[in-house]
């Protein structure tokens, strides 16, 4: 982290919610600013490049998913992390946002503490070199409890070699590539597609179950995010909601 304050842009048309987020962001040592319109947000983001965006999906002029799509389509703004704010029960929106490239989300009503934790996480991940970068031929995860050797297609769990199918290996490798990030079933299918048999949403679940069984005591590292998908546990942060 640099010493400069992280700049968070809040895109939210409800003033009370925007003020609440601003208050907590500033208390957490960030600089916060609110914009009430999706269209104006796009202009401002292109011009000023904030460090992170809190994006409400329900906006009056241009909905949040469209804002997300446009930001992630442009080379200029693609790298800016987005944390979505969604209405309760709108899992389809969450899935769509994640597939468009949003980094994380909270659901209304959310705890400001949880939102701040999410913001710090995406900022940290954005700045940090990924420990588990897929460019290396070995991924060392959870302090060495899981080691994935990409060249040899080998997985070692707590010093024990584990035999995974190609699909299980592909799923684990994909999820572990970005610990803490939720992946939807469609993203998993896209990543593993072609490496083995054809996958469907339901077979993803079946492979995950088999993968967890083989991981034994470490099964919990593949987390279910209800209604959205799966993620690999992030050892450096614990979710407190």
> Of 63 and 239, which CB lies nearer to Ca ion in the complex structure?
63
Binding mask 6-25 for Ca ion (x = CB under 5 A): -------x------------
Rank residues 118 and 173 by Cβ distance to Ca ion and give the closer one. 118
C-alpha–C-alpha distance, residues 197 and 232, integer Å: 23
State how far the Cα of 106 lies from the Cα of 56, in Å rounded to an integer.
10
CB of 99 to Ca ion, least distance (A): 21
Task: Evaluate the CA torsion angle 37, 32, 58, 98 in order and state its sign.
Answer: positive
Q: Which of 20, 44, 58, 156 binds Ca ion (CB under 5 A)?
A: 58
Let me know: does 82 contact 101? Beta carbons within 8 Å.
yes
Q: How far is CA 58 from CA 12, 54, 66, 87, 169, in A?
A: 8, 12, 11, 8, 38
User: In this chain, which stretch among 48-56, 121-129, 132-140, 179-187 interacts with Ca ion, using CB under 5 A?
Assistant: 48-56
Q: Which is nearer to Ca ion, 13 or 158 (CB)?
A: 13
- Residues pairing with 146 in the sheet: 141, 157
- Which of 54, 117 has the CB closer to Ca ion? 54
* Shortest separation between residue 56's beta carbon and Ca ion, angstroms: 4
- Nearer to Ca ion among residue 12 and residue 51 (C-beta): 12
Nearest residue (beta carbon) to Ca ion: 58
Least distance in angstroms from the C-beta of 149 to Ca ion: 47
Q: Minimum Å distance from CB 84 to Ca ion?
A: 11
Closer residue to Ca ion, CB minimum distance, 14 or 223: 14
Residue selected from 6, 45, 51, 56 as contacting Ca ion according to rule CB under 5 A = 56
90: contact with Ca ion by CB under 5 A = no
- Closest to Ca ion by CB, 96 vs 221, is 96
Total chain residues near Ca ion (CB under 5 A) = 3
- The site for Ca ion (CB under 5 A) is made up of 13, 56, 58
């Amino acid at each position: 982290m640099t010493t400069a304050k992280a700049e968070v842009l809040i895109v939210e048309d409800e003033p009370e919610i925007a003020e609440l987020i601003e208050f907590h962001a500033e208390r957490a040592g960030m600089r916060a600013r609110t914009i009430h319109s999706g269209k104006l947000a796009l202009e401002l983001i292109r011009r000023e490049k904030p460090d992170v965006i809190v994006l409400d999906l329900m906006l009056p002029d241009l909905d949040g998913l469209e804002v997300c799509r446009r930001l992630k389509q442009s080379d200029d703004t693609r790298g800016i992390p987005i944390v979505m704010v969604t209405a309760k029960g709108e899992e389809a929106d969450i899935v769509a946002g994640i597939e468009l490239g949003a980094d994380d989300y909270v659901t209304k009503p959310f705890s400001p503490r949880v939102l701040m934790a999410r913001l710090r996480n995406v900022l940290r991940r954005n700045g940090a070199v990924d420990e588990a970068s897929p460019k290396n031929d070995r991924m060392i995860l959870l302090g060495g409890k899981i080691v994935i050797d990409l060249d040899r297609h080998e997985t070692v769990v707590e010093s024990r070699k584990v035999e995974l199918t190609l699909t299980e290996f592909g799923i684990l490798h994909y999820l572990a590539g970005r610990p803490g990030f939720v992946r939807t079933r469609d993203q998993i299918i896209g990543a593993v597609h072609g490496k083995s048999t054809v996958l469907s949403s339901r077979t993803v679940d079946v492979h995950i179950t088999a993968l967890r069984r083989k991981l034994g005591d470490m099964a919990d590292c593949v987390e279910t995010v209800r209604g959205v998908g799966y993620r690999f546990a992030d050892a450096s942060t614990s979710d407190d909601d």
